Amino acid sequence: MGTLAGKTALVTGGSRGIGRGIAERLGREGARVAVHYGSNEAAAKETVATIEAGGGSAFAIGAELGVPGDAAALWAEFDRQADGLDILVNNAGIALYGHIQEIQEADYERVFAINAKAPFFIIQQGLDRLRDGGRIINISSGVTRIAFPVTAAYSMTKGAIDVLTHTLAHQLGPRGITVNAVAPGIIETEVLDGLPQEQKSQMAAYSTFDRIGQPSDVADVVSFIASDDARWITGQRIDATGGSALGL
Ligand code: NAP
C-alpha cells in the first residue's frame, strides 16, 4: 500500500514537465490523480496512461487558466469525475523572460493571471471540496530567494505564491490542512530542449551538485509533503533547488 492510498489528488499542469512528474509520483503512492492540462490533451492522456500502467488510477481534466472563470471551469470538470479531494497541487505556470524595462503590460498581466491569480481562485473555490487533514502544495521557484533580474515579473508571481502559502497555512491549520510551497531550481523540461550544451552546463553549475534537476527531484519532495509524515510542516517554502546559489 502506498503512502497516499485512498486519497484523491489534483495536479494542475499535470500533463507535462514537473507536473507530470508529480502526478506520476502521487499515482505511484496510491492516490487517484486528476491530471489537469490547458490545451495539450494528448500529453495529459499520456500521463494518465503511465499512471494506469503502473497500477494506479488517474483521469484527465482540461481547463485553460488565466482567463475569466478559469477556476470554476476547472472545478466543474473535476466534479464530473471525483467527489472531493485530499491533495491540491498548484503547479501550472508559465515563464516570462525580460528585465523590468522590457516587460509589456499585457505579458505582465498574463503571467500574473496564470501563475498567481489562478491558484488563488482555484484554492478559494476548492476549499469546500478539500477534506479536513488535506494538503495544498504550491509550486514556487528558486527565484524568490535568488535574484534573477531577467525574470522580474515572473519572480514576482512566485513571491505572491510564497505569501499566499504561509497566509493560508495560518487560516487552514484548524482544519488540519497543511499549506506549503515547494521551490524548484532549474529543472529539465521541454523548455530546455535544444539549448546548447554550454548553456546547460552553466545552468547545472547553479546547483551545488552541478547538475540540472529532474522532475522527479521535485516530485519526491512534493510526495513527502503530501504524505502523513509531513503533517507537522505547514506555512513553509521548501527549497528544492539542489542547493543553488548557496554561497559566492
Ligand atoms: P511546462 O513543462 O511548460 O508545463 C506547464 C504545465 O502547465 C503544462 O501541463 C501546461 O498544460 C500547464 N499550463 C501552462 N499554462 C497553462 C494555462 N494557461 N492554462 C492551463 N494550463 C496551463 O512547465 P514546468 O517547467 O514543468 O513548470 C511547472 C511549474 O514549475 C511552473 O509553475 C513553473 O513556474 C515552476 N518552475 C519551473 C522550473 C523549471 O526549471 N522548469 C523552475 C522553477 C519553478 P498545457 O501544455 O496543456 O498548456
The minimum-distance atom of ligand 1 relative to the CA of 64 is 19
Report yes or no on 93 lying in a domain: yes
Is 37 among the residues known to form the active site? no
- Name the residue range of residue 59's domain: 8-109+130-240
Q: Please list, in sequence order, all residues whose beta carbon lies within 8 angstroms of the beta carbon of residue 114, skipping any fewer than 6 positions away.
A: 65, 66, 92, 93, 94
CA of 92 to the centre of ligand 1 (A): 4
Determine the angle formed by the axes of helices 105-112 and 152-172, rounding to 10 degrees. 30
CA distance 159 to 163: 6
User: Does any ligand 1 atom lie closer than 6 A to the CB of residue 42?
Assistant: no
Grid look-up 482544519 returns 175
Q: How far is the CA of 91 from the centre of ligand 1 (A)?
A: 7
Residue 64 inside a domain? The answer is yes
**pLDDT given for residue 193 in this prediction:** 87
Answer yes or no: is 248 within a domain: no
Catalytic residue among 37, 97, 108, 154: 154
For residue 125, tell me if it sits in a domain.
Answer: no
Q: Which residue do the cell numbers 503547479 mark?
A: 91
In a domain, 114, yes or no: no
Count Cβ neighbours within 10 Å for each residue of 12-51 and write b for 16 or more, e otherwise. Answer: bbbbbbbbbbbbbbbbbbbbbbbbbbbeeeebbbbbbebb
Supply the CATH number for residue 49's domain.
3.40.50.720
39 domain-assigned: yes
How many angstroms separate the first and last alpha carbons of the chain? Answer: 45
Say how many domains are in the chain.
1
User: Does the beta carbon of 65 lie inside 6 Å of ligand 1?
Assistant: yes
Going residue by residue through the chain (248 aa), what tens digit of pLDDT does each one get?
799 999 999 999 999 999 999 999 999 999 999 999 999 999 999 999 999 999 999 999 999 999 999 999 999 999 999 999 999 999 999 999 999 999 999 999 999 999 999 999 999 999 999 999 999 999 999 999 999 999 999 999 999 999 999 999 999 999 999 999 999 999 999 988 889 999 999 999 999 999 999 999 999 999 999 999 999 999 999 999 999 999 98
- Residue 52 phi, psi (nearest 5): -65, -35
Name which residue sits closest to atom 45 of ligand 1, judged by CA: 38
Does residue 121 fall inside a structural domain?
no
Cβ-based neighbours of 170, under 8 Å, separated by 6 or more: 235
Q: State which of 187, 211, 212, 218 you would mutate to test the pocket of ligand 1, scoring each by most atoms of that ligand within 8 A of its C-beta.
A: 187
Please tell me if the CB atom of residue 91 comes closer than 6 angstroms to any atom of ligand 1: yes
Q: Quick one: CA torsion of 79, 81, 84, 85, rounded to 10 degrees?
A: -120
In a domain, 36, yes or no: yes
At residue 166, φ and ψ (nearest 5 deg) are -75, -25
